[in-house]
Amino acid sequence: MKKHNFNAGPSILPREVIEDTAKAILDFNGSGLSLMEISHRAKDFQPVVDEAVALFKELLNIPEGYSVLFLGGGASLEFCMVPFNFLEKKAAYLNTGVWAKKAMKEAKAFGEVVEVASSAESTYTYIPKDYTVPADADYFHITTNNTIYGTELKEDLDVNVPMIADMSSDIFSRPIDVSKYICIYGGAQKNLAPSGVTFVIVKNDALGKVSRYIPTMLNYQTHIDSGSMFNTPPVVPIYAALQTLRWIKAQGGVKEMERRATEKADMLYAEIDRNKMFVGTAAQEDRSRMNICFVMAPEYKELEADFMKFATERGMVGIKGHRSVGGFRASCYNAMPKESVQALIDCMQEFEKLH
């Protein structure tokens, strides 16, 4: 049976990327060696990193003066690397969910942290809009997509201080005005690669302004100076990331990714709004295109387990909502085909007919 992979992360990757990576694991570039056993300093691997960096810059239209890094450790490690590198006195954070809160928590050990707004009181079902960012903040940190609650900042904000964004779950799903940010980071395991590599886009001249000692591995300058090769980088995930970047370019780039994301999300939200058995959980204007969250309507609440079983039997994978909010979550990252979204809609319609 065909599986439709709605996993929230690690999550669906283009089939070409999967097949190409499996091939390289058996034999990398006709070298007679596996991708898993080549040196990261091998002549054949440097071009992989170089092309991945170049495609990052090209696809996201990154201006001069920025570096692109591929690091280990995950976005959670960035939660402390960001204040280590950028927080001298005061930082502002927008609290849009658990990940934003975790980022904020780490920053508190480094300086004054201002939570400019929060939607915690409504279990993060919306993105706060009316707030003031202190003009003397070193940066304003946002989480552009909130996987657990299905909310998304679908446009770059206009604020009076440089922004830092966790874009783990919506990178490459829309064009970004990178010049508004001094740092954009994310775990790769949603829209880019298998887990194990973190991308960081950093504005070079925003570094070097804090007075504290930064441990070598936590200092972005270390990794800029060595082209992400200060220590052994995660070779297999970086290779897979390159294949995904090539795929994005071949499909038409981030504008086409955005068109597809909007099309898929519109299809599924339309069904959620039409179908009497289901209710969307996020505020209409903040609905995420990446993670579409919904629950059973109150009068069908007791059928939640039934629908889960019904959908699973029809090949849907990973549609269980996060344990902290319940219900359902269909993650529709870049590699998710329209056909899989339609298959889920068909499930919802068939289930409605049965009841």
256 SS3 class: helix
Query: What are the Cα distances from residue 276, in Å, to 2, 38, 184, 229, 349?
Result: 27, 55, 40, 54, 10
Among 48, 67, 69, 79, binds a second copy (CB under 8 A): 79
Q: Cβ atoms within 10 A of the Cβ of 26, count?
A: 10
Residue 25 in contact with a second copy, rule: CB under 8 A: yes
Question: Is 189 annotated as belonging to a binding site?
Answer: yes
Residue 106 in contact with a second copy, rule: CB under 8 A: yes
d(CA 286, CA 280): 11
On whether the CB atoms of residues 107 and 129 are closer than 8 A, the answer is no
Residue 195 in contact with a second copy, rule: CB under 8 A: yes
Nearer to a second copy, 144 or 198 (CB): 198
Among 102, 180, 246, 314, binds a second copy (CB under 8 A): 102
> DSSP assignment, residue 194?
S
Binding residues for a second copy restricted to 142-161, rule: CB under 8 A: none
Nearer to a second copy, 11 or 96 (CB): 11
- Site mask, a second copy, residues 240-269, x = CB under 8 A? x-----------------------------
Among 29, 57, 77, 342, binds a second copy (CB under 8 A): 77
Nearer to a second copy, 76 or 221 (CB): 76
On whether the CB atoms of residues 188 and 198 are closer than 8 A, the answer is yes
20, 156, 166, 170: the catalytic one is 166
Residue 234 in contact with a second copy, rule: CB under 8 A: yes
Both tokens assigned to 80: 């402390």
Nearer to a second copy, 137 or 188 (CB): 188
State yes or no: is 266 an active-site residue: no
Residue 72 in contact with a second copy, rule: CB under 8 A: yes
Residue 326 in contact with a second copy, rule: CB under 8 A: no
Question: Is 41 annotated as belonging to a binding site?
Answer: yes
Query: What are the Cα distances from residue 49, in Å, to 11, 55, 226, 245, 253?
Result: 22, 10, 12, 12, 19
Question: Is 151 annotated as belonging to a binding site?
Answer: no
Residue 35 in contact with a second copy, rule: CB under 8 A: yes
Question: Is 247 annotated as belonging to a binding site?
Answer: no
Nearer to a second copy, 125 or 189 (CB): 189
On whether the CB atoms of residues 133 and 160 are closer than 8 A, the answer is yes
Of 115, 175, 166, residue with least CA distance to 144: 166
Query: What are the Cα distances from residue 284, in Å, to 120, 145, 150, 270, 349?
Result: 17, 15, 11, 11, 22
Residue 321 in contact with a second copy, rule: CB under 8 A: no
State yes or no: is 190 an active-site residue: yes
State yes or no: is 99 an active-site residue: yes
Stretch near a second copy under the rule CB under 8 A, chosen from 30-38, 59-67, 129-137, 142-150: 30-38
Ramachandran bin of 160, using left for φ above 0, alpha for ψ from -120 to 50, beta for the remaining angles: alpha
Stretch near a second copy under the rule CB under 8 A, chosen from 77-85, 201-209, 255-263, 287-295: 77-85
On whether the CB atoms of residues 281 and 149 are closer than 8 A, the answer is yes
On whether the CB atoms of residues 139 and 87 are closer than 8 A, the answer is yes
Q: What share of the chain is helix, strand, coil (3-state, %, to 5)?
A: 40, 20, 40
Residue 12 in contact with a second copy, rule: CB under 8 A: yes
Residue 105 in contact with a second copy, rule: CB under 8 A: yes
On whether the CB atoms of residues 201 and 168 are closer than 8 A, the answer is no
154, 156, 170, 190: the catalytic one is 190
Residues comprising the binding site for pyridoxal 5'-phosphate?
Answer: 75-76, 99, 147, 166, 189, 231-232
- Per CB under 8 A, residues contacting a second copy are 1-3, 5, 7-13, 17-19, 21-23, 25-26, 31-40, 42, 71-77, 79-80, 102, 105-106, 109, 187, 189, 193-198, 213, 215-218, 230-237, 240, 317-318
Positions marked active-site: 99, 166, 190
